[in-house]
Structures are given as C-alpha cells and as structure tokens.
C-alpha cells in the first residue's frame, strides 16, 4: 500500500524542514542571547482597529475565543482591508460561512500588507483550501522571517498541536518560553503536550504555573482541571472547572468540560445535564451543534443505542436548522458507525456525503475533505464487518488517493487507520501494525493494533496498548465505542474482524 503520489511525503518533509529550522534557530539564539525579539508587523490604517486586533490576540491566548472574535469583528469594521484580523477570524471561527467570507477578504487584502503578513495569510488559506503543502511552506517561511516572535512561535505550535504534531509543537513552545519565561499561555500549551504523552505529573506542573501567572483568568483553572481529569483525579478536576466558572460564569468551555468529565466517569445523566447548560451558554451555532452531539455520545457510551439514535437524529435536525453542514453530516456518519442495520448505515453515509457535496461552496475545502475521509473510513469498517473485502479495498484506495493528493495529515492518518483495518481483516497482521501505529490518536485503530500485536506474539506491547486504551480519558465517538467495553475486562482486546 505504498503511496502513489509524492505530495504526502512532501508534507512530512516540510514538517521535517521545520524541525531542522527550529534546531538551527535555537543554536543561534544560544550563541547570541541578546538577539532582539522581532515581531510580525500588523498593517492597518486605523489605530483603533490595531487596539482591537491586539485585544483579540490576548483573548485568543487566554482561550476566550468568542471575545477574540468580537474584537476582530470590530477591527475589520474599522478597517475593511485589515488582512490579519480577517485571517484570525478564519483561524478561530467554527461557522463555515464566516470562515469562507473572511478568508476571501484576507486574500483580497494581501497586496496591502508586508511580506510576513502575506505568508500568514497564505498559511491560513493553504490549510483551509486543502493546499497543505503550500500552506506549511508559507508557515515555515514566516517563522524563518520572524524566529524571535514569541507569539508567532506559540501560534504555530498551537496549530501543530491540533494536527497531533507534538514534537514540533513542543520545540516551538519551548522557544516561546525561552524568549519570555513569563509567557503564560505557553505553559498551558506545554501542559497539553505533556498530557498527550501521558506525562501527567509534568502536565499538572506546567498548568499549575499557568494558574500561578494568571490566577484570575478562567482558562488556567480549566486547563489545570483537565490535566487532573486525564490523570484520573476526577473530583479535583470538577472542583477546578467550577472555580473557572466562579471567575467567569459565561466561560462556556468549562461548562462543557463538566459534561466531558461526567461522561468519562460514566455518569451519563449528569453529563447530559451539564452539556445542556453548555449548549445554552455556547456563543455560536457551531459550538451548540458540537455540544449537542457530545451529549448524544453519552448514550453510545452507555450502550443505549435507541436513545442515541433519537439524540443524534435530533442533533442533525438542529444542525440543519442552524446551517451547520459539517455537523449535520457528522451526525449521520456517527449513526452509521454504531448502527446494526447495514442498509440504514449505508443510507446514512450516503446522506452525509450528499450534504458535503451540496455545500462544497460554503464549507472550507479542508474541513469538507477531512469529514469526507472519515466517511470513507466508516465505509471500510462496514464493508469489513460484512465480509465484503472487495468494497473495503475500493474505499481504502479512495482514501489513499485523498491522502496522496495534498490532503491534511488528518486525512493521511484516516487512510492509515482504514488500511490497517483492511489488513487485519485479511489476516496480514504484521503489515497492519505500522498503519495502525500511524493513527495513534484513534481508539478504534489502537484496539485493532492490540489485536494485531497479539497475533504477532508481541504480547508485552499489546498489554501496554491495552492499558493505554483502558486509561483513555479524551471523549470522542471512537472512545465511546471502544473504552467502556474494555473497562473491567481481562485479557486480549477482541476484534470483530
């Protein structure tokens, strides 16, 4: 299953170039400790717009994204050619129509800004228009132009973290802290990076420093609570989420996280109560659609599939009414993931795909393609479960084509997971292992990886992966389908394939 196109390999090479560039920059800084911190320029014709832009960036660093968007909206109202404000609206909003219109404005305003700002716009546009190679190349060039901009290092690190590129993200985060040891948001980022490696003591220490630097902001307490939750200290986590809400009762993120925590604890009723409050508090329709589906997942986690069907169908209808097309498609895709009726599952997947196709001019191409890739993976899983390996092969080939045509790293990992799923079904366990290892953030792939390791007699590795799954505390539909059934079991994870 070699990749037939070199674009995906080039994507990985660009990230490698970023790593090499970081190492070079860090060595240079060690030799010249007094190098000035050169910042990316902010071009605007309005001093008031500049103030709103900066206020928005501070709010963004504090993870108060709704307040950041408010500031940037005011900035572009005052300056209709404010490229960076349009860009950060695109990078932050969860509304597809808002993202699309502001991306167009950002690109139209590029000719009036500095080369560094143009690179930032190209980074944003590339990663939203499924031109990842071009986008990441622009990102690399931008960092090379302003290596000592602490905020720029943090912002790129945050984006890389969301792509599960933890090593690169950590280097940039540490660079930001080397430039400013009191840069609070970088400690937050460091905590999340440690947590993804299971280093919860270090994660708690880093987010504790974040709380120390910003004790009166809600997000430090929220992040500290999440590290406590991930380490299994649920009661303490709940206490700190509530502390964040005491500081700011409108901090909807902590309200949502109360639901997440009760979900992981296995208390679906309390989780749904907290999620309902989060839906009410959410400042945008995109977030409301997301939280409705998180609530619906609690029924899947509890094995109450009839109630899950009802909740996801209602969530899809509400997403439709709010014109949240990706979330509507996602609801139908999830229905097909756990449904037992093959004909209905096929219908749901077709409907999800039709929704994406009908709104291709509204939704960012990158978001649309990533959701389409997830649909194709479910097709692979359904075909394998039905014993139809020929159809599974066709779907894997479709995903390979998407991954090798300049798609995102998330599409590449979705392909790896699907390829591994098919190889396990074909009893080619050794060949499946590297594919499944590449999809390391997906509990469905890890479950199959445990099975493949058992079959290849890698017993110790299988046992370690199984314990990692049992300890998984990041809510998702994949987690809901895998983890609850493993808790309390002994021995091997049993595959359906």
- Domains of the chain (ranges plus CATH)? 10-31+43-172 (1.25.40)
Is the pLDDT at 23 greater than 50, yes or no?
A: no
Residue 272 tokens read as 């749904």
pLDDT digits (tens, 9 = 90+) for 253-301: 999 999 999 999 999 999 999 999 999 999 999 999 999 999 999 999 9
Q: What value does the mean pLDDT take over residues 298-325?
A: 97
Between CA 363 and CA 382 the distance in angstroms is 27
On the CB side of 276, CA atoms within 13 Å amount to: 7
DSSP string, 300-339: HHTT-HHHHHHHHHHHHHHHHHTT-HHHHHHHHHHHHHH-
Between CA 76 and CA 459 the distance in angstroms is 58
- Long-range pairs of 293-296 with CB within 8 A, sequence gap ≥ 24: 293/327, 293/330, 293/331, 293/334, 294/256, 294/259, 294/260, 294/263, 294/475, 295/259, 295/271, 296/331, 296/334
What pLDDT score does 96 carry? 84
pLDDT digits (tens, 9 = 90+) for 152-205: 999 999 999 998 889 999 999 999 999 999 999 999 999 999 999 999 999 999
Torsion sign (Cα): 338, 3, 353, 355? positive
Cβ neighbours of residue 404 under 8 Å, at least 6 residues apart? 3, 4, 5, 6, 7, 8
Coarse DSSP helix, strand, coil percentages of the chain, rounded to the nearest 5 percent:
75, 0, 25
State the residue for tokens 């996280």: 257
What pLDDT score does 494 carry? 39
| Under 8 Å between Cβ of 152 and 142 | yes
Between CA 180 and CA 491 the distance in angstroms is 49
Would you give the DSSP letter of residue 359? Answer: T
Residue 295 tokens read as 């609530």
Label residue 490 by pLDDT band (50, 70, 90): very low
Minimum mean pLDDT among 211-225, 266-280, 356-370: which range?
Answer: 356-370
**What percent of the chain is predicted at pLDDT more than 70?**
91
Label residue 63 by pLDDT band (50, 70, 90): very high
Cβ neighbours of residue 176 under 8 Å, at least 6 residues apart? 150, 151, 153, 154, 157, 183, 186
DSSP string, 17-44: HHHHHHHHHHHHHHH-TT----------
Between CA 415 and CA 394 the distance in angstroms is 12
Would you give the DSSP letter of residue 217? Answer: S
| Closest to 97 (Cα-Cα) out of 322, 383, 341, 348 | 322
Between CA 247 and CA 138 the distance in angstroms is 39
Reduce the DSSP state of residue 497 to 3 states and report it: coil
Is the pLDDT at 387 greater than 70, yes or no?
A: yes
pLDDT digits (tens, 9 = 90+) for 64-93: 999 999 999 999 999 999 999 999 999 999
What pLDDT score does 487 carry? 75
pLDDT digits (tens, 9 = 90+) for 86-140: 999 999 998 888 999 999 999 999 999 999 999 999 999 999 998 888 999 999 9
End-to-end CA distance of the chain: 20
């Amino acid at each position: 299953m070699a990749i037939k196109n070199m674009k995906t390999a080039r994507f990985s090479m660009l990230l490698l170039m970023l790593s090499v560039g970081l190492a070079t920059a860090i060595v240079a800084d060690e030799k010249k400790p007094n190098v000035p911190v050169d910042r990316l320029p902010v071009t605007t014709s309005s001093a008031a717009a500049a103030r709103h832009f900066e206020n928005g960036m501070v709010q963004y660093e504090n993870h108060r994204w709704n307040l950041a968007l408010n500031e940037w909206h005011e900035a572009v109202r005052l300056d209709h050619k404010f490229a960076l404000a349009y860009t950060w609206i695109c990078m932050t909003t969860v509304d597809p129509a808002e993202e699309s219109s502001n991306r167009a404005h950002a690109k139209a305003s590029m000719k009036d800004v500095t080369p560094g700002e143009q690179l930032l716009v190209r980074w944003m546009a590339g990663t939203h228009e499924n031109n990842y190679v071009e986008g990441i190349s622009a990102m690399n060039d931008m960092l090379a132009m302003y290596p000592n901009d602490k905020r720029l290092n943090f912002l790129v690190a945050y984006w890389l973290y969301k792509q599960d590129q933890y090593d690169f993200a950590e280097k940039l985060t540490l660079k930001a802290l080397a430039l400013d040891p009191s840069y609070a948001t970088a400690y937050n980022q460091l905590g999340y990076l440690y947590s993804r490696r299971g280093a919860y003591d270090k994660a708690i220490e880093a987010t504790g420093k974040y709380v120390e630097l910003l004790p009166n902001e809600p997000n430090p307490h929220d992040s500290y609570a999440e590290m406590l939750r991930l380490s299994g200290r649920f009661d303490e986590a709940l206490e700190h989420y509530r502390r964040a809400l005491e500081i700011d009762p409108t901090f909807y993120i902590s309200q949502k996280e109360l639901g997440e925590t009760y979900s992981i604890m296995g208390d679906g009723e309390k989780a749904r109560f907290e999620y309902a409050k989060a839906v009410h508090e959410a400042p945008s329709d995109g977030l409301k659609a997301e939280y409705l589906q998180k609530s619906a997942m609690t029924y899947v986690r509890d094995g109450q599939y009839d109630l899950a069907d009802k909740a996801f169908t209602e969530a899809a209808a509400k997403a439709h009414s709010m014109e949240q097309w990706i979330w509507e498609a996602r609801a139908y895709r999830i229905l097909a993931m756990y449904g037992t009726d093959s004909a209905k599952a096929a219908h749901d997947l077709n409907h999800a795909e039709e929704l994406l196709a009908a709104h291709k001019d509204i939704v960012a191409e990158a978001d649309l393609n990533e959701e389409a890739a997830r649909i194709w993976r479910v097709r692979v899983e359904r075909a394998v479960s039905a014993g139809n390996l020929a159809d599974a092969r066709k779907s894997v080939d479709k995903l390979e084509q998407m991954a090798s045509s300049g798609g995102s790293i998330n599409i590449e990992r979705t392909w790896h997971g699907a390829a591994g799923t098919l190889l396990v079904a074909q009893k080619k366990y050794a060949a499946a292992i590297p594919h499944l290892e590449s999809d390391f953030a997906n509990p469905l792939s890890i479950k199959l990886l445990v099975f493949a390791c058992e079959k290849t007699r890698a017993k110790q590795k299988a046992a370690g992966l199984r314990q990692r799954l049992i300890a998984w505390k990041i809510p998702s539909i994949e987690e809901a389908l895998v983890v609850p059934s493993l808790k309390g079991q002994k021995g091997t994870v049993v595959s359906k394939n």
